[in-house]
Amino acid sequence: AQSVTQLDSQVPVFEEAPVELRCNYSSSVSVYLFWYVQYPNQGLQLLLKYLSGSTLVKGINGFEAEFNKSQTSFHLRKPSVHISDTAEYFCAGWGRRFQKLVFGTGTRLLVSP
């Protein structure tokens, strides 16, 4: 099956601490990978994307992600989180077979003071 796996359903972290949200993709997903963020009662906002080139991708709001082909991973990181980063984060990739975006199940980031 085409799959993108987000290993953590929820990540609690204190404000100003670093955070890593994990994402792994299967071989059925091409290496066109995305991270989206969803704030409460809103749609999805694109954080960053990897299409080709440098494996370290920088996005909005201080987030970055590293594409690792050997580990089939695309983990999202931020060196210092804010309360306002509390949201749900989705990793996605293009499915090779059905040519559509395949989403992970999401990781809820909970930032507390």
Residues that bind other proteins (CB under 8 A): 30, 32, 34, 36, 41-46, 49, 51, 90, 94, 98-101, 103-106
In degrees and rounded to multiples of 5, residue 38 shows phi and psi of -125, 115
**What minimum distance in Å lies between the beta carbon of 81 and other proteins?**
23
- CB closer to other proteins, 32 vs 61: 32
- CB closer to other proteins, 13 vs 44: 44
- CB closer to other proteins, 52 vs 113: 52
**What minimum distance in Å lies between the beta carbon of 90 and other proteins?**
7
Q: Which long-range contacts (CB under 8 A, 24 or more apart) does 96-103 make?
A: 96/2, 96/28, 96/29, 96/30, 97/2, 97/28, 98/2, 101/34, 102/2, 102/3, 102/4, 102/29, 103/4
CA 24 – CA 95 distance, rounded (Å): 14
**What minimum distance in Å lies between the beta carbon of 39 and other proteins?**
10
